[in-house]
Structure 1
Amino acid sequence: MGLARNQVPLAHEGLSQLTPWRSVAYLRDLLMQCGVLPPADRHLLLFQRWLAEKLPTVSDPEHRKLLDLFATWHIQRRLRTLAGRGPLTGSQTQQARNKLYLAINFLDHLAQRGRALADCTQADVDTWCAGGYTARRLTHSFLRWAMQSKHMPTVTIPHRSTANPAPITQHQRLALLRQLVNRDDIPLQGRVAAVLVLLYAQPLTRITRLSSDDVQHEDGKVLVRLGDPPSPVPAPFDGMLLNYLGHRPNTKTATNPDARWLFPGRRAGQPMTPEAGAPRLRQLGFPTRPGRTAAIRQLVLQAPVPVIARMLGYNDDHTTRLAEEAGGTWRHYAPGDHAR
């Protein structure tokens, strides 16, 4: 009603004043899709709205001031950097929210010990990190920011493991790929997503950002553009991918009449989210991270690391590390050798 009566400007700032947020987000997507509003990252806008509602609920004014600075100069700065590279995902903004939640809890932890952040000691940090909560690793960014900005003394942040889960075996990977060909009870959308994970080691965050233009059909060959050069799609998965291309879901609605996403979502102009795709694959028994690790380890045994990294859109250093773990024979490959 506020928009209809000109009480709220038809702009992103005006929409941010309206409730409920889900309806506002849906309307915003439609207005951007129709060109009424300029493009803006919807997840960044939703995070900013959440932040404006969350900060006033922090009762301690000193805590609220610190959290506002942390959110402004660390969390939102990082989100804007990520948004400049491509649309944010729901998981990225959820992690940002979790960082603020954990920062709030850490400040409460200090208050219970009779300390302010400026008086924080190594014992305070060690006690916090020994609490047994895996999510507390998200406090590390707050601690680093607080030390760098001189809001707390220098302490040592306990090391945390960043190791990936154990990959599935090559035998398991091939068995899962065979299932993707034969199991007609699995929706085609899920089968195609699983192929991209198990064949090309692609994370769902990248898979959901692919467009239909990234699938190329030339001279009887099917290619998928994940990096440079595009990757060939072997049979029988080439036929599966082309079949899916002509039967993508969510393309016959008013919100997505001209959708170019390979995996269109239900919101106007938006792809399917990784958060929607991951549970489906898990329920079907297709692992994501263990499957990705197994795929890339197998690929780096077959070709030079720089070639695989460019083709899959991976970082050279990350791919090299996996090659060394897999015992690859291309460790001493020099760029350009493959062209000789």
Structure 2
Amino acid sequence: MTATPLTCDGCGREGRRYRRGLCGACALTEDLQAVLDDGHGSIRPELLPLFEGMRQMDNPRAGVSWLRRPHVAEMLRILASPDTAITHETVDAMMPWRSAAYLRDLLMHHGVLPAVDRHLLLFKRWLAEWLAGIDDVEHRRLLERFATWHLLRKLRTIANRQPLGMKRNQDARRVLVQAAAFLTWLDDHNTRLDRCTQADLDAWHATAFLARRSAQAFLRWCMATGHMPKLAIPTRSTLNPAPISQRQRLALIRKALSDQSTPDRDRVIALLVLLYAQPISRILRLTLDDLMHDGDQVLLRLGDPPSPVPEPFAGLLLDYTQTRPNTTTATNRDSRWLFPGRRGGQPLDPTTIQSRLSKLGILAGPGRSAAIRQLVLQTPAPVVARMLGYDADTATRLATAAGSPWSRYAPGDHEQ
């Protein structure tokens, strides 16, 4: 029987044909077989998990478009060669680095490469390139020692416990950039690091204090290791951002619940900030397993015990879980993240969602401060802390500052 225009010549399934009579899935399979060929007409065995994972993606056309990029096809051909070791070091050498990072995420997600914190790898790659651009040999050597023995050691320790996330990556870079700026400032003022005075340190901090504060970890390390005299590092109060008013908070909650022109993902994240005082970094680590049911009651595990989710937020949250973005490609097809990102096995990037919330008139810091302030006014601080995953002492201090009638509440069993 002759195939109709709605029947794939490859698999025989009905559906729109993509090219030469093939559906999108068969076209993607054909392209994958071409770029992953080991030179003998077969796919390199180590890459079979990647092949199987990609060809089953719900949006095969996205995969075909990705493979059409010349540098992507070249990177995959390199890995397909039996002469190439499939290691993190091999991917490190690939360019452009953003495409290599995306490929690495896919390889880790499908088990081809062992899982390593992607932000630790990105920082190490950035560090090597950044150090190579520093002309002053002494500065470069000192900054490399500081990065190796202080920053990288700290990042590795954190990565062994939990994902680093983009913020820690960016913070570590900011420390080094400001450290280099301090060394350059000393040179411009004809001063050596080992002869830096308190007046020098104060003068450097006098302008752009908030930016230059990032260098303080470097300054403390230099003092502890004898590279500079022990001096007093200038400090300024850095209080939590002022909370928005309760009226503003309620208006934003109503908008997030009712504004159907805003993507459900953004509305859900906004409500987690405004109702449950959750930081963006913690929200993005939530998984589908943190969403639970107790009869008709929807619960969300933010602490212990889980927090109830009232209507209409419960309905919005459940609807969102059925339409989560970024689950139609090979990167996060079976993701358990509540907010899956575009990179393999990774949740949504915090910088992206902060930008989207800002466009809605929601600043995460002030919104979260307003929420936690209101919550500790209504409920004992230790109870709020347990349910929302806050430190008990922090919640108690916030309750005292807010004038909470529960500020003297003693946690424990009050039913005896």
TM-score bracket for this pair, using the shorter chain length:
over 0.9
Q: Deviations over 1:282-307 (max 9, x none)?
A: 00112211110010011111222121
- The alpha-carbon distance between structure 1 residues 339 and 142, as it changes in their structure 2 partners (threshold 3 A), is farther
Distance 2:401 2:340 in 1: 36
2:331 is matched with which residue? 255
1:207 is matched with which residue? 283
Match of 1:49 among 114, 125, 141: 125
Match of 2:381 among 293, 305, 327: 305
Displacement of 1:56 in angstroms is 2.0
Residue 71, structure 1, aligned to residue 71, structure 2: no
- The alpha-carbon distance between structure 1 residues 8 and 50, as it changes in their structure 2 partners (threshold 3 A), is farther
Matched position secondary structure for 1:217:
strand
Contact kept, 8 Å, 1:264 with 1:270, in 2: the verdict is yes
Matched position secondary structure for 2:330:
coil
Displacement of 1:198 in angstroms is 0.3
Displacement of 1:9 in angstroms is 2.2
Distance 2:349 2:244 in 1: 25
Match of 1:325 among 391, 401, 406: 401
1:293 is matched with which residue? 369
What aligned pairs does 1:191-206 form with structure 2 within 5 A after superposition?
Answer: 191-206=267-282
2:99 is matched with which residue? 23
Contact kept, 8 Å, 1:224 with 1:230, in 2: the verdict is yes
Distance 1:236 1:313 in 2: 23
Distance 1:76 1:284 in 2: 37
Identity %: 57
Amino acid of the structure 1 residue aligned with 2:284: T
Gaps of 5+ in 2: 1-76
Distance 2:131 2:200 in 1: 24
Gaps of 5+ in 1: none
Bigger drift between 15-24 and 258-267 goes to: 15-24
Distance 2:268 2:139 in 1: 47
1:10 is matched with which residue? 86
Q: Deviations over 1:190-239 (max 9, x none)?
A: 00000000011001111111101111122000011111111111111111
Displacement of 1:270 in angstroms is 0.9
1:174 is matched with which residue? 250
Displacement of 1:60 in angstroms is 1.6
Distance 2:211 2:289 in 1: 38
Normalized against structure 1, the TM-score is what?
Answer: 0.96
Match of 2:309 among 207, 226, 233: 233
Contact kept, 8 Å, 1:137 with 1:160, in 2: the verdict is no
Contact kept, 8 Å, 1:8 with 1:15, in 2: the verdict is no
Distance 1:38 1:229 in 2: 34
Displacement of 1:25 in angstroms is 0.7
Displacement of 1:81 in angstroms is 2.3
Residue 109, structure 1, aligned to residue 201, structure 2: no
Matched position secondary structure for 1:32:
helix
Displacement of 1:8 in angstroms is 4.5
Bigger drift between 108-117 and 327-336 goes to: 327-336
1:220 is matched with which residue? 296
1:314 is matched with which residue? 390
1:83 is matched with which residue? 159
Contact kept, 8 Å, 1:263 with 1:271, in 2: the verdict is yes
Distance 2:199 2:154 in 1: 29
Normalized against structure 2, the TM-score is what?
Answer: 0.79
1:143 is matched with which residue? 219
Contact kept, 8 Å, 1:102 with 1:139, in 2: the verdict is yes
Match of 1:38 among 106, 114, 132: 114
Bigger drift between 76-85 and 287-296 goes to: 76-85
Structure 1 or 2, whichever has the larger Rg, is 2
Distance 1:83 1:214 in 2: 22
- The alpha-carbon distance between structure 1 residues 274 and 236, as it changes in their structure 2 partners (threshold 3 A), is same
Match of 2:236 among 153, 157, 160: 160
Bigger drift between 266-275 and 246-255 goes to: 246-255
Displacement of 1:332 in angstroms is 2.0
- The alpha-carbon distance between structure 1 residues 65 and 338, as it changes in their structure 2 partners (threshold 3 A), is farther
Aligned residues between the structures: 340
